[in-house]
Amino acid sequence: MKAGIIKDYGKQVEIQEVQAPILSEDSVMIEVHAASINPIDNIVKAGYMKEMLPITFPYIMGYDVSGVVTAIGSKVTKFKIGDEVFSRPNQMDSGSIAEFNVVKEEELALKPSKLSHEEAASMPLAGLTALQALTTKGKLTSGQKVLIHAGSGGVGTFAIQIAKHLGAEVAVTTSTSNFELVKSLGADIVIDYKTQKFEEELSDYDLVLDTMGGDILNKSFKILKKGGSIVSIKGQDTEELAKKYGVNFEVFFMWPSGEMLTYLGKLINDDVLKPIIDRSYNFDQVQEAYDYLQLGHAKGKVVIKIK
Ligand SMILES: NC(=O)c1ccc[n+]([C@@H]2O[C@H](COP(=O)([O-])OP(=O)(O)OC[C@H]3O[C@@H](n4cnc5c(N)ncnc54)[C@H](OP(=O)(O)O)[C@@H]3O)[C@@H](O)[C@H]2O)c1
């Protein structure tokens, strides 16, 4: 099959013929229609996660998939051949920027019927990250105030909508060109990170979803009420600051979950959530897509059309 692979750390993605992945008893084979890309791909590709996530070459890129089931393992009970599905496959199994992708049943969900494969492929990693950050980790509840950094990005565009659905008051940081987009998704307060200082404008917040780390994370402590929380998907350890401000702090990595993806699919079908796609690239333009994402200014998600 054809796949978008790297032959070593730091190399460009090439489309090459590789062996199709092997189906296991608890997995399904998906004919991939669309994939999407995430900043973590560029981090893995550059070799910055060598120790934590060792990979072998040629390595098939891509952690988001939407497609059609073409074969099922002997122990699979919830899916059948012909089902339209989407997933954030476990990254050690097989990459999604390929004609076929093997995904464990527990990481899979039925594609929401109203979404195209491109739209569905844009959701799993970023949508699950937003959901897990706000609910499992952040325990956000109705009436609380949350700040979402980079509300216009892949994670942020889902996070705004989920936070509003939970009944929270939502502030986001982004730049002026994205104000309309984030407001249309439900943001109540929008702060331009280029001209305003969020730490001077906001106070008494219950939760910050930190997508930036560094100085932005450090300054975020100032806007929390006592007992508030920062959930970071990017940050460095700041236990000292957490202690000083009397708040909770956690950095976490999202995890694949078919169950949570099914819940996101329900939010889609209920018109609570919609994916925002910035750009779609053809299969043979994968490296171009990664170069664009690397600039750090995507508005929503970047998708790869496979079939
Ligand atoms: N731990 C995990 O499990 C996990 C999961 C997913 C993502 N992540 C990490 O989370 C981060 C965000 O991911 P993503 O997919 O949302 O990234 P993304 O889509 O690339 O984010 C791009 C957005 O960030 C905005 N932005 C850039 N600089 C900003 C700043 N200083 N303040 C506010 N907004 C800013 C940009 O707006 P402008 O165009 O206006 O600049 C753009 O819309 C990445 O570092 C990623 O690696 C971690």
Domain boundaries, the chain: 2-123+275-305, 126-251
Is 127:156 a contact under the CB 8 Å cutoff?
Answer: no
Q: Which atom of ligand 1 is nearest to the CA of 301?
A: 19
Centroid of ligand 1 to alpha carbon of 151 (angstroms):
8
Ligand 1 atom 41: residue of nearest CA: 297
pLDDT score for 277 = 98
Q: What is the C-alpha to C-alpha distance for residues 218 and 118, in angstroms, rounded to an integer?
A: 36
pLDDT score for 36 = 98
CATH architecture of 126-251: 3-Layer(aba) Sandwich (3.40)
Mutating to test ligand 1, I would choose from 152, 231, 293 the residue with most ligand atoms within 8 A of its C-beta, which is 152
CATH superfamily of 2-123+275-305: Medium-chain alcohol dehydrogenases, catalytic domain (3.90.180.10)
pLDDT score for 91 = 66
The residues of the chain scoring below 70 in pLDDT are: 91-93
Q: Which atom of ligand 1 is nearest to the CA of 293?
A: 20
Q: Which atom of ligand 1 is nearest to the CA of 172?
A: 33
Residue 147's H or E segment, with its range, is strand 145-148
Residue 59, SS3 per DSSP: strand
pLDDT score for 90 = 86
Q: Which atom of ligand 1 is nearest to the CA of 252?
A: 1
Q: Is 234 in the pocket of ligand 1 (CB under 6 A)?
A: yes
Q: Is 156 in the pocket of ligand 1 (CB under 6 A)?
A: yes
Centroid of ligand 1 to alpha carbon of 150 (angstroms):
5
b/e 65-84 (16+ beta carbons within 10 angstroms → b): bbbbbeebbeebeebeeebb
Q: Is 150 in the pocket of ligand 1 (CB under 6 A)?
A: yes
Ligand 1 atom 34: residue of nearest CA: 150
pLDDT score for 235 = 87
